Amino acid sequence: MKKKLSVKHLLGIKSLTTEDIELILSTAEQFRDVINRPIKKVPSLRDITIANLFFENSTRTRISFELAEKRLSADTINFSAAQSSVKKGETLIDTVNNILAMKVDMVVMRHPNPGACVFLANHIDAKIVNAGDGAHEHPTQALLDAFSIQSRLGSVRGKKVVIVGDILHSRVALSNIFCLQKLGAEVMVCGPRTLMPRYIGDLGVKVEFDLRKALEWCDVANMLRIQLERQDIKYFPSLREYTMQYGLDMPLLKSIGKEIVIMHPGPINRGVEITSEVADSPQSIILDQVENGVAVRMAVLYLLAGRTDN
Amino acid sequence: MTPRLILNPQQLDITIKRLCHELIEVHDTFRETVILGLQPRGIYMARRIHKELQQILGVDDIKLGELDVTFYRDDFRKKDLVPNTTSIDFIIEDKNVVLIDDVLFTGRTIRAGLDAMLAFGRPTDVELLVLIDRRFSRHVPIQAKYVGKRVDTVASERVIVNWKETEGEDKVWLLTQ
């Protein structure tokens, strides 16, 4: 078994090898055990300071990273663009370099611009973890999704996973496609034509426009949220129409004649892409995903911080 | 490298039996005592001791856990550390704990083990049992209460413990480089 990651930063799933992903998932397995103990904390990163830089809103990812950091005993500082000097016109590199001047070892960053983390990694001397960059990648989400599938179904290899919804604006979709394919799963994307990137087929995924057909094919359905905040034009006539075509409800789920696993990266728009009944059903592993998120992020931070070449 | 045999299968078997009797002398029926093997290599020793104890006492309910110390080590970033599984499905609060490892060298693993163990409660009493004690090599003030065999070694030497379950032979070797 490999002992260390091949990368210094976690910028995206695309730059990880299959062995890297397997190492992260097997380490996460041990951390899930740690966070279910009476004392949920280990001292591994006690000498590390981590800055969480969120230039974009986030609840789940941010809390999850913060908990992961605290459970590894790292010191953390939080930064959100809303209350910062970014508003006064400071550049990204200046902002980050100022924070690093205060002796910070790692940066967890979410940024609305794709590639912001890669840019930062090329210019500054700290380890970077991408917590979502625009519509590009969201690597930790993909890792925790793969981890959740593995926990529920025993393995990711050979499983059929459909990603439903706003593929065009979704960083979760892109990272999930890379991650699941590297682990040997078959991936399909399903959504309205207008929300389907033009050359998505080149990534080796199946494309389906009929939700029922997609559900009949798959073992796992990952339902994405419609990202209205990223949509500059109207991609479909109304949310109601979207729901009629691509919303998952109980009658549809029951009618496909087999039990599939339902996932959602959150936040859920109940009644739009998924009904409450489905989201809260035993087939749904949405809250498991959240629990696994902390374990997976602990594994990522632990493995990056523990690299011996620095 | 010239390997030297320290314990052959018969000697190893006798040593394990002797250690078990020493344990029984102190812990009687093991009602209030649990055994924790340290990952990665101490667990084989712990399983052997556990099996032997149950045979001698004629019981089948002595508690055995496996403890991984990776997250508590002090050589993080000096070595690439990959965690192993911890499986302790009982409470160690107010119990006597016997920590078991195969080789006691610098004592750092045991130091981390003491930390790791506290995440599962506060034991009344903790003892250390090792198969091989490499004397005069300690970096921290830790000593074993039960010792299979003491050997005098220098840092460049290595002690290799092989088990029937994993390597196909019950033998302990000393490797000189």
Q: Is the pLDDT of residue A91 over 90?
A: no
In a domain, A217, yes or no: yes
Q: How far B128 CA lies from chain A's nearest CA (Å)?
A: 22
Looking at the structure, do residues A199 and A145 belong to the same domain, yes or no?
yes
**CATH at A111:** 3.40.50.1370
Domain assignment present for residue A5? The answer is no
Mark whether A265 and A222 lie in a shared domain: yes
Pair (A149, A241) in one structural domain: yes
CB contact under 8 A, A305 and B77: yes
Cis peptide before B9 (omega within 30 of 0): no
Answer whether CATH 3.90.1300.10 is correct for domain B30-156: no
pLDDT in tens, A221-280: 999 988 777 777 788 888 889 999 999 999 999 999 899 999 999 889 999 999 999 999
Contacts A1 to B, Cβ<8 Å: 82
Do A38 and A97 sit in the same domain of this protein? yes
**What's chain A's average pLDDT?**
91
Q: A137: which strand partners?
A: A133
Indicate whether A261 and A127 sit together in one domain: no
pLDDT, one tens digit per residue, over A42-62 is: 999 998 999 999 998 888 899
Name the interface residues of A facing B (CB cutoff 8 Å): 1, 3-4, 23, 27, 29-30, 33-34, 37-39, 41-44, 302, 305-308, 310
Q: Comparing C-alpha atoms, which of A152, A179, A60, A56 is closest to residue A110? A: A56
SS3 of residue A33 by DSSP: helix
* ipTM greater than cut 0.90: no
CB contact under 8 A, A308 and B78: yes
**Same structural domain for residues A145 and A267?**
yes
pLDDT for B2 equals: 81
Pair (A132, A234) in one structural domain: no
pLDDT of the residue at B1 = 66
Residue among A23, A29, A34 minimizing CB distance to B71: A34
Same domain for A46 and A129: yes
Q: Are residues A49 and A152 in the same domain?
A: no
**Domain region containing A169:** 139-289
Count of domains observed in chain A:
2
Residue A282 located in a structural domain = yes
Whether residues A116 and A47 share a domain: the answer is: yes
**A202 located within any domain:** yes
Task: Evaluate whether residue A60 is within a structural domain.
Answer: yes
Candidates A37, A302, A307; nearest CB to B120: A37
pLDDT score at A287:
94
Chain B partners of A29 at a C-beta cutoff of 8 Å?
Answer: 85
- H runs (alpha helix) in chain B: 9-27, 42-57, 108-118, 164-167
**CB–CB of A4 and B80 under 8 A?**
yes
Same domain, A261 and A181: yes
Please check whether residue A11 is in contact with residue A118, taking contact to mean a CB–CB distance below 8 angstroms: yes
- Work out the average pLDDT over B14-33: 93
Q: How confident is the model at residue A310 (pLDDT cuts 50, 70, 90)?
A: low
Same domain, A204 and A247: yes
Read off the amino acid at residue A261: V
